Amino acid sequence: MIKLIASDIDGTLLKDGGHELYEEYFEVIQKLLDHGVAFCAASGRHITGMTGLFGPVADQIYYICEGGALLRTSDHIMKAWSLPQGSYEELLEETSDIPGVQVMIDTADCVYVNAGEDSRLFRFIHDGYQFAVENVSDLTAIPEEEVLKLSLYSADVHVEESCADFLASDWMKKLSVAQAGTMWVDAISPKANKGEALKVLQEHLGVTKEETVYFGDNLNDLPAFGEAGMTVTVSNARDEVKEQADLIQHSYRHHGVLQQLQKILDEIEQKNSSQK
């Protein structure tokens, strides 16, 4: 029996940077919660841009944030994986001058950029993702122990191309580095990813892999695929993800995840009805 459902957001539930979830999701998620099925939003997003997205169910679900560097509820941090001590300034120095790429730094409370409040990056984070974001003059001033994630943003060129050298560097061995869409590359603790965070949540809830369903569309979702008994992707997903998924649903534009959630809900309700 399914007891835990976790889903990526960008590219899976809605378009990258979107800030309005189709309202029927709330109704279906609430019914699943009422049947004892836990729900977790798993994303590279910051918590300040996730709770507003889930509206009426926001305080009842779990969150894997920062690409897996933070597991929490809406008001309580359950586990955090900070960047390894001594890596932050070096990582920042090596990524801050990549042509066409800007840097975003995530902590538990806020995200930081050094791009100007009128920059495309700041406006995208503030207006699109609706994160709590601050523009600062010096990113190195952020205390290293608070840094959960460093993200590379490329708006005009596919991030895989603009960050090719970084993606082929030794940082791939030192940290957990993954693409989180066409515009983002995320670097977090080598001990962290969506799969590790999902395992901690499963242990907390007393849920097994076989009782877990995971929805995702990008490379940073693959570690979580390995911790779920059923894996579902969408038709707009990367080919590497489609190859590993148990099921391919319609794209986020056609609410494929919602359709699959409704199927799961229908099966639960039919089973409960037959047992009465």
pLDDT value for 242: 98
What is the mean predicted confidence (pLDDT) over 162-177? 94
Residues 75, 257: Cα–Cα separation, whole Å: 26
What is the mean predicted confidence (pLDDT) over 14-33? 95
Residue indicated by tokens 């889930």: 54
**60 half-sphere exposure, CB direction, 13 A CA radius:** 16
Q: Is the pLDDT of residue 276 over 80?
A: no
Q: Is the pLDDT of residue 95 over 90?
A: yes
> Residue 15: is it exposed, middle or buried by C-beta count within 10 angstroms (0-12/13-18/19+)?
middle
0.85 exceeded by the pTM?
yes
Coil, strand or helix: which one is 122?
helix
Residues 30, 190: Cα–Cα separation, whole Å: 34
pLDDT value for 180: 86
Q: Please, which pLDDT band fits residue 273 given cuts at 50, 70 and 90?
A: confident
Q: Is the pLDDT of residue 197 over 90?
A: yes
Contacts of 187 (CB under 8 A, 6+ apart): 83, 91, 149, 150, 151, 152, 171, 175, 176, 177
Q: Which tokens sit at 143?
A: 């205390």
Q: Please, which pLDDT band fits residue 157 given cuts at 50, 70 and 90?
A: confident
Please name which of 73, 6, 11 lies closest in space to residue 228, comparing C-alpha atoms: 6
Phi, psi of 76 (to 5 degrees): -145, 125
